Structure 1
Amino acid sequence: MTDTPGARDADRALKAKHRTMWALGDYPAVAKEVVGALGPVLVEACGVKRGDRVLDIAAGSGNAAIPAALAGGDVIASDLTPELLDVGRRDAAARGAELRWQVADAEALPFGDGEFDTVMSCVGVMFAPHHQDTADELLRVCRPGGTVGLISWTPEGFIGQMFTAMKAYAPPPPPGAQPPPLWGQEEHVLALLGDRVTGAQALRRTVRVDRFAKPAHFREFFKATYGPTIAVYRNIADAPGKTAALDRALDELAGGALRDGAMEWEYLLFTARRSGAAPDRAVPSDA
């Protein structure tokens, strides 16, 4: 981004819009009831263990941060939207997980260089508008030799197709903003990170979603809970024809994906090591 007063004002306005969007509806219900399995998958892939300093960026209500804390990590869950963190605090307390919750912008993290052993994000950083800025920040705060772990929806998978279906009904993106599902392409992630990582692994996997018996169940649930979907419908609220067309598009998408009452949503699981020599650090004993 260009660092001028006008650009900074535009960025603040964009981030405020994003905070508002993700506070719409009930995203924690999506994270818990629909894609709850993703957080533990990411924590396992990152190899989080007792004493690891972990940052979960765009953590939402803690789908990955809470399992990382339960695995013994010293975890900070950061997100742009404080309402999501409030839900996460309550959920963590109910599950006996201890971690810190901090409002933070993925593109300007308030943490020191190399502060964390693991930096991760579960379908989170992909929604930050400026991909290179986000990639630079997540690498900056990861120590040399530390782990970077990401789960992102692929463009070809169900959620990527949903965003394609909604695009025609959404307001135009602001200048410089990039489509979130690009993070689900291995080539895009590698281009963002470059030689600052080693040992990269990118695996395409699916999460089984059996929450919706019929296409209309999916559509109505996402219209009520998922911020991006709610925002698109609000954009066409005064156009009944467009609303009906988007209803049909989402029904067709879900209907084509449903098999025996379940869907498989594709995502990219990406892990890598931050380049550079790992500093010596005392590992807590089990005593």
Structure 2
Amino acid sequence: MTSTETVPSALEELKAKQQKVWSSGDYGRIAWITVPIARELAEAVELRPGSRVLDVATGTGHVALEAARTMCEATGIDYVPALVDVARRRAEAEGLDVDFRVADAEALPFADASFDVVLSAIGVMFTADHDRAAAELVRVCRPGGRIGLACWTPTGFVGQMLKAVGKHVPPPPEAQPPTRWGTEEVVAGLLGDRVHDVASYTASVTERFASGEAFADFFLTHYGPTYAAVSRLDEPGRAALRDDMVRLAAEANRALDGTFVSDWDYLVVTAEKR
């Protein structure tokens, strides 16, 4: 007898692991860091009232909520149900009409050309299959519509933090660095010839913590990737990772009063679908 059971691919297994990572910790406590990025991205694509807007990997809903505030017909999807629940509560609290759904960025549950604008801020960059995710962004955007992405850069603070985490807990061999999306050439290649008028610029969001140690402890406690990393380390390994994060904060700090203040770079990329 032969078995008909389908063996998950390496990327499917990676996606399942990543979904658990983003379900760990408490990303709702981290999400405030990216609130200003939502407004920057909305301005970059010049959102117009009445536009049909999709926010891919919405997290707790920043970009979708920003679109709704601009009188757009907003939809947001994420594959972490707990984050979608937070996004729905935020929309309800503001009296905003947003269609938040639990869905996969690599298999969007929408027909071709469903949206005028397709956006993602610090979201789609963390998918398992970059090519598939990029293809979905383009597929659901109408011809002449806009795609806008905001992603941490490889050389910026978060890029360096993720690199430091990878030294302590190496990612699976099939995983691609999420900060690839923080380089225009890579994003242009992912979107391919289905788009034109690709443009980018680097922006930064200023973050403030009581100290470098407070930053490290906050991220190790609440941020999925760092929370998941320390859960796999023994006590000396956890201490070493924390030391590296504190050291990174000290190198990036521009405060002179003992607190931690740093500008975290991200790349904004816009394109138009042909």
Q: 2:215 aligns with which of 208, 213, 218?
A: 218
* Alignment of 1:244 onto 2:242: no
Give, as a single letter, the amino acid of the residue that structure 1 aligns with 2:207: V
Q: 2:227 aligns with which of 196, 218, 230?
A: 230
Q: State the partner residue of 1:279.
A: none
CA shift for structure 1 position 97: 1.4
Structure 2 distance, partners of 1:163, 1:171, is 10
CA shift for structure 1 position 98: 0.9
The C-alpha deviation readout for 1:71-115, integer Å capped at 9, x for no partner, is 111111000111100011111111221111111111111111011
For residues 16-27 of structure 1, the aligned pairs below 5 Å read: 16-27=16-27
- Preserved CA contact (<8 Å) 1:152 1:267: yes
- Preserved CA contact (<8 Å) 1:48 1:72: no
SS at match of 1:168: helix
CA shift for structure 1 position 24: 1.5
Give, as a single letter, the amino acid of the residue that structure 1 aligns with 2:27: Y
Give, as a single letter, the amino acid of the residue that structure 2 aligns with 1:255: A
- Preserved CA contact (<8 Å) 1:53 1:116: yes
Structure 1 distance, partners of 2:198, 2:190, is 13
Q: State the partner residue of 1:285.
A: none
Q: Which moved more, 1:264-273 or 1:17-26?
A: 17-26
SS at match of 2:35: coil
CA shift for structure 1 position 130: 1.2
Structure 2 distance, partners of 1:11, 1:184, is 21
Q: State the partner residue of 2:204.
A: 206
Structure 2 distance, partners of 1:262, 1:108, is 38
Structure 2 distance, partners of 1:47, 1:103, is 27
Structure 1 distance, partners of 2:173, 2:47, is 36
The C-alpha deviation readout for 1:134-186, integer Å capped at 9, x for no partner, is 111100000000000000000000000001100022253152x2110000011
- Preserved CA contact (<8 Å) 1:76 1:101: yes
Q: Unpaired segments of 5 or more residues in structure 2?
A: none
SS at match of 1:205: strand
Structure 2 distance, partners of 1:213, 1:229, is 19
Identity of aligned residues (%): 44
* Alignment of 1:75 onto 2:74: yes
How many residue pairs get aligned? The number is 266
CA shift for structure 1 position 11: 4.7
* Alignment of 1:128 onto 2:123: no
- Preserved CA contact (<8 Å) 1:55 1:119: yes
Structure 2 distance, partners of 1:12, 1:198, is 30
- Preserved CA contact (<8 Å) 1:147 1:274: yes
Q: State the partner residue of 1:92.
A: 91
Q: 2:191 aligns with which of 188, 193, 213?
A: 193
The C-alpha deviation readout for 1:230-284, integer Å capped at 9, x for no partner, is 0000111xx2221111111000001111111410000000011011xxxxxxxxx
The C-alpha deviation readout for 1:30-78, integer Å capped at 9, x for no partner, is 112x222111111121222211111100000101110111111111100
For residues 248-267 of structure 1, the aligned pairs below 5 Å read: 248-260=243-255, 261-267=260-266
Give, as a single letter, the amino acid of the residue that structure 1 aligns with 2:111: G
SS at match of 1:120: strand
Structure 2 distance, partners of 1:172, 1:264, is 26
Structure 2 distance, partners of 1:184, 1:138, is 16
Structure 2 distance, partners of 1:44, 1:29, is 25
Q: Unpaired segments of 5 or more residues in structure 1?
A: 276-287
Structure 1 distance, partners of 2:57, 2:162, is 19
Structure 1 distance, partners of 2:189, 2:59, is 26
